[in-house]
Amino acid sequence: MPLGERAGDKSESRYCGVETEFNDDMPHVLAFNLSSGGFDFVVAPLMDPAYRPSLMQKDCSGSGVLPFASSDLVLSPSQWSSHVVGKVSSWIDLDSEDEKLRIDSEITLKQEIAWASHLSLQACLLPPPKGTSCANYARCVNQILQGLNNMQLWLRIPLVKPDDDSVGINPDHVIDSWEMWNSFRLLCEHHSQLSVALDIMSTLPSANSLGRWFGESVKAALVNTDSFLTNARGYPCLSKRHQRLVTGFFNHSIQIVISGEQVHGFPRATSDLISNHNDNVEGSQRHPLRPYLDYVGYLYQRMDLLPEQERFEIGYRDFLQSPLQPLMDNLEAQTYETFEKDSVKYIQYQRAICKALLDRVPDEKSFEINTVLMVVGAGRGPLVRASLQAAEETGRKLKVYAVEKNPNAVVTLNSLVKLEGWENLVTIVSCDMRHWDAPEKADILVSELLGSFGDNELSPECLDGAQRFLKQDGISIPSSYTSFIQPVTASKLYTDVKAHKDLLHFETAYVVKLHNVARLASPQPVFTFTHPRQSTEGSNQRYKKLLFEIPSDTGSALVHGFAGYFDATLYKDVHLGIEPSTATPNMFSWFAIFFPLRTPVCVGRGSTLEVNFWRCCSPTKVWYEWCVASPSSSPIHNSNGRSYWVGL
């Protein structure tokens, strides 16, 4: 049964498995480990470990029947599918110098995967590569993947990395397990059905090194019983670092599998250790690994509940969406409604407008001066409401122009004005702000034209066009905004883009709720825009070269693309944004933007990644181009806006 129930968490990480030895009585294996032990699934060998194809061929008296663990009939199809992960024989070595062993390994690998596929298993665990070369192993796995059904192949990888301060070890001569995985998956061309199962040891690499794996396709973590410590009461427990790692696995839908033999004595009582697992077989021998399962369940249940916002966003995690084009397209009612629910954003806008009104109109003239405020891109009126509430809060008189180009939103705006009785306060203008001839100049210009990358919904072009009806000393809210990027490992996002099998999708920027990503360096600023512009001359084209230092304790990593964010100053000290270090809490109007790379770039430990970004403009469109210049060169993506652009 699941480790526990947490609001909003329906991920696979709720289920904990156990690694078993070969047993040709699969019904007993399931009964003992699931019914008695409380585990949710087993990782079980499918083939007798003594089997070798070459020996069977010599023994001509044999029946020719392969020594698999039981017939497919001993369990129902749903039991095989839901409760068994196949485990390929650990002896196989497809890159062995011994030709007989290599050939036996190739034959056995294909036989076992074929049997697992016949059983409709959801996944099969492959043994780790042996030695430094894995080319033939990867070739055979890649062949299998080409004709495989929906089954996943989990490559077992020991979680080790040489740290720079390892005593007596030259890190350049010790294999980093991530590099082992990277070599294998590159040979298999990032196949979407090839994933990782990490072997967790008693010692762990640095936090930065561990962080790389959260951007990879990790499906399971096999925690060996040797990794557990013993607490004062005799229970198995994990170190603080191991606890943080396991919690991270839970948060990234990575399943825990208990591996190894019992190395702790049984505690007498478990009532004070939180667990949802009940012994279903009265008087039966207790499963030797049950205390480890109980502890994993305890870690799962003591995790903080997902905040309401995170529960709302779960369905959007790592889901690629095309950015909005509100200037070229008219938004739908559902889109407006989603953004209007973001109260945090409008609270920040109201704070900024309050400060602007107080600066604009002194207390002694609050009843004399009527401030002219224009909301450009008013939508269905949330900024109009925030502006009028700011006027009421500060005791200032306000005249509002609500400028909106979407005729459907204008209908809603008219209804809102009548419903709220704002007819004497609000004038609705159904027009593109760039083409409107305003009857008077504005004291304050308010807009919410920002995109995930700041300027990617053409806020600069729109506000430049609207600036002509702002007074010389007028205030723009926002007053400035800056875009940011950072290199990321994002295996799932890369695989999803690659699945389209075309250039267009690799040269498109996507809005995405980033989750299974590894952030390889701190974000750096890219383009900044300030309003109102001091000079109407000049262009909104931009170019920036950025240098990212990859921390030496991270080890090597693969850059699949770049995460983009923005930070905006609304007015003075009031800001909002999604750049991780300064992100506005509990605001959900914007997800990050993702710029993919056609070919991922491998960066070594302590190396420098040189990235170039361009913002390009023509009379009809705006687009971005990007490339990597070092440590290896990539093509310039989206040249001349051939794949992705924003229409003016």
Cβ neighbours around 343 below 10 Å, total? 11
Long-range contacts of 231-235 (CB under 8 A, 24+ apart): 233/267, 234/264, 234/265, 234/267, 234/268, 235/264, 235/267, 235/273, 235/291, 235/294, 235/295
The reply to whether 502 sits in an annotated binding site is: no
Q: Which two tokens mark 34?
A: 């699931």
The reply to whether 345 sits in an annotated binding site is: yes
Helix axes 240-251, 290-301, angle to 10 degrees: 70
Q: Which two tokens mark 54?
A: 């070459």
Give me the catalytic one of 448, 461, 579, 625: 448
Give me the catalytic one of 216, 457, 507, 579: 457
The reply to whether 432 sits in an annotated binding site is: yes
Q: Is 549 a catalytic residue?
A: no
Nearest to 100 by CA among 131, 56, 62: 56
CB 105 within 8 A of CB 130: no
Give 201's Cβ-side CA count (13 Å radius): 11
For 278, residues 6+ apart whose C-beta sits below 8 A from its C-beta are: 38
Nearest to 608 by CA among 543, 542, 554, 565: 554
Cα gap 610→559, rounded to integer Å:
12
Residue 518 phi, psi dihedral angles, 5° rounding: -115, 120
> Strand 542-549 to strand 608-617: parallel, antiparallel, or no bridges (unpaired)?
antiparallel
DSSP state of 364: G
Q: Is 340 a catalytic residue?
A: no
> Strand 397-404 to strand 370-376: parallel, antiparallel, or no bridges (unpaired)?
parallel
> CA torsion angle for 140, 146, 148, 154 (degrees, to 10)?
50
The reply to whether 56 sits in an annotated binding site is: no
The reply to whether 346 sits in an annotated binding site is: yes
Residue 30 phi, psi dihedral angles, 5° rounding: -70, -45
DSSP string for residues in 281-333: STTSPPPTTHHHHHHHHHHHHTSPPPPHHHHHHGGGBT--BPPP-TTTSPPPH
The reply to whether 104 sits in an annotated binding site is: no
Q: Which two tokens mark 37?
A: 């032990």
Active-site residue set: 448, 457
- As annotated, the binding site includes 336, 345-346, 404, 432-433
Which residue ranges are tagged as binding site for S-adenosyl-L-methionine?
Answer: 336, 345-346, 404, 432-433
